[in-house]
Structure 1
Amino acid sequence: MNKRGMTFSEKKFVLFTYLLSTFLVPTSAVAQEGETAVAGVNHQLAVTVANQDQSPATNVVVFLQPTNQNQSLPMNQTPLHIGQQDKAFVPYVSVMQKGSEVSFMNYDDITHHIYSPVGQHKFSFKIKASEEKIIDTIDETGEIAMGCNIHDWMSGHILVVDTPYFAVTDDNGIAKLPDIQQGDYLLNVWHPQLSSDNNNDVSQTIEVNSTRSARVQLNTTLAREPVQENSEDFDFLSDY
């Protein structure tokens, strides 16, 4: 048997093989890490809200509150703008996160006197044509009911919530809530014309993980929104 020692080239090959097997990260480990990162990506939830007769419940606020009270929540960076247009609040129903600001923009060629008379959110200001008024940080949750001292048929509502996860349903009764952290949440539905305590109807737990959509039905009647129009503009003879 040939008992010669390894040549210098053979020793280099053995050393290279050892280093390769010891320090090189396996391909399967990289794939696993990638899967973990994807699992942490935030989710989008589409909530369909139906009236008792199964018709779409439009212009309804949907918001999620985490069941874990210690969950850290981000700030929703979507600005809230409320217009005064054709002597009406546009939109009629809005929602914002506590700690945010709201801006009012007068698109009419006349002056409005916007006010909210009750609660923690009392305010009153005149806003001239094409003027913008910003109300700084609102630090209390709850409903803000608004009117105009000059045009008393004008009305609007803001719901201030303690969560960044909210939306308003569209004409199909669908609210799309983007960028939600994975977890368990309490799903709430709100509208000023709901005949329920605090105008809050549906309240149920939902897991935001694999769930991408949800459907809820109102338990109480959603009354028709008031018409923001001067009664003097109505044509009472139109139906005769």
Structure 2
Amino acid sequence: MRLPSHHIEVLLLLGLALCTQAASAADLTVRVSDVQGRPAHNVVVVATPKAAVSAPGRPAMAEMDQIDRQFSPYVLAIHTGTPVLFANNDSVAHQVYSFSPPKRFELALYHGRPREPVVFDRPGIVTVGCNIHDNMVGYLYVTDAPWFGTTGDDGVWTGRDLPAGEYELQVWTPLLPPHEWLHTQSIALGDQATRASFKLKRALRPEPVPIKDKRVRDY
């Protein structure tokens, strides 16, 4: 069956639009270093478009584990509305809680089988701790932005297939004083892979140290 000429024209235009959209997406690599130029890991990186774009899909659930009397990962970035499972693969029981305004909650003492996931339905920074172990602390960075993540041991985070346009980049770490938590810069993305960098202006505080001595028993 032969299509009418105007149908063919519409299909060609649609194909051209799809090709243009695909070609205008590129990766963004952000490198974060400390004041001495060393890679800064566990730093949240957020890329917020200044105009409306098609957002990527979201995972159904995220997880923050508890190992060696510490939260793992130490910093977890999630999208607003994501349920988080607080697993406990430690040798002792924990009682996870938060008093942070974006999400106040408390999970009764447990070990092994985790409690029900907690849904983080408001953006903001949530500090979590354990009522039994005062040395335990972790952070959830809850954001409405479509692209975000945390840097690895190499101090790098890479966002995939970001549409071309203007973005505001933001980095955050709890290891700086509160008034210096956020660092921002603007960047323009085209159809080529783009790199950006942040150098923090202060030395980072050390992360909490895990307690690996299995002879220590409490709960």
TM-score, normalising length from structure 2? 0.81
Counterpart contact for 2:88–2:111, Cα < 8 Å: yes
Equivalent residue for 2:196?
215
- Mapping of residues 36-55 of structure 1, within 5 Å: 36-41=17-22, 42-55=25-38
Counterpart contact for 1:56–1:172, Cα < 8 Å: yes
Given candidates 74, 84, 91, the residue that maps to 1:109 is 91
Residues 97 and 216 (structure 1), Cα distance of their counterparts in 2 relative to 1, 3 Å cut: same
Equivalent residue for 1:90?
72
Count how many residue pairs are aligned between Structure 1 and Structure 2.
207
Give 1:133 deviation, angstroms: 2.7
In structure 1, give the amino acid aligned to 2:42: N
In 2, Cα distance between equivalents of 1:78 and 1:186: 26
Query: Of the two, which has the highest radius of gyration?
Result: 1
In structure 2, give the amino acid aligned to 1:224: R
Aligned-partner SS, 1:37 = helix
Given candidates 199, 205, 208, the residue that maps to 1:224 is 205
Identity fraction in percent: 27
Gaps of 5+ in 1: 1-18, 234-240
- Mapping of residues 173-188 of structure 1, within 5 Å: 173-188=155-170
In 1, Cα distance between equivalents of 2:17 and 2:53: 20
Given candidates 160, 176, 187, the residue that maps to 2:142 is 160
- Higher mean C-alpha displacement, 213-222 vs 43-52: 213-222
Give 1:222 deviation, angstroms: 4.3
Give 1:176 deviation, angstroms: 1.4
Structure with the larger helix share: 1
Aligned-CA RMSD value: 2.9
Residues 52 and 121 (structure 1), Cα distance of their counterparts in 2 relative to 1, 3 Å cut: same
Gaps of 5+ in 2: 215-219
In 1, Cα distance between equivalents of 2:66 and 2:95: 10
Question: Which ranges of 4 or more aligned residues in structure 1 deviate by more than 4 Å?
Answer: 32-36
- Mapping of residues 132-211 of structure 1, within 5 Å: 132-195=114-177, 197=179, 199-201=181-183, 203-211=184-192
TM-score, normalising length from structure 1? 0.74
